[in-house]
Amino acid sequence: MRPRSSLGLFLGILSAVVIVDQISKRLALSALSDGGSLTAIPGLILLTRTSNTGAAFGLMPGFRVLFMLIALAVVVGVFAFVVRERPQSALLVVALGLVTGGAIGNFIDRALHGQVIDFLEFAFIDFPVFNVADTAIVVGVGLLILWLLITPSPRPGSVEPDSAPPVPSPPDPGSPGSDAPGQGEVG
């Protein structure tokens, strides 16, 4: 992957997640009353609108400012990494785009509503209600773990080809500063 295309892919994935997340939440807010539920796919998915003041899946409620600061740190850190390092792995870039887009989506909710809007619920299992941003974060972290597992790591003591220090060239015999006898000596 070309360095420029890694940034484009990252921004494209991030933008798609934020747009789909925010549109889906607006639809949930307009179509469902708080706590209201509709069957989307019988036996599989319900649309149930809830609000969440905690982290993903309602963990640690009431820490809005902390979660906003964490999201901001993640977004700034990942964006700086992608711009500076221009990762060549499409899998890594997609994973980082998903996580960052999800963090931004939930950050927007906390900033605008003081809580995150959740509306997706599994009908077949007792699982917390979630949203598109949560899904992007979980899938992104899963892809990041996969990338870590399949990317070969350098062996101890080995040096990456691009990070090897330059080999100094030998001095020209007889040049000033050279210890070699030759043309540069006056006798």
Active site residues: 118, 134
Nearest Cα to 70, choosing from 112, 78, 113, 24?
78
Name every residue whose Cβ is closer than 8 Å to that of residue 140 and which is 6 or more positions away in sequence. Answer: 94, 95, 96, 97, 98, 99, 100, 102
* Inter-residue contact 94 to 146 (CB < 8 Å): no
Nearest Cα to 90, choosing from 147, 128, 170, 36?
147
Q: Locate all alpha helices (DSSP H) within the chain, ordered by sequence.
A: 3-31, 64-85, 90-113, 132-150
Instruction: Report the C-alpha gap between 15 and 22 in whole angstroms.
Output: 11
Instruction: Compute the C-alpha angle 31/137/54, nearest 5°.
Output: 65
Instruction: Report the C-alpha gap between 109 and 26 in whole angstroms.
Output: 10
Residue 124: count of CB within 10 angstroms of its CB: 9
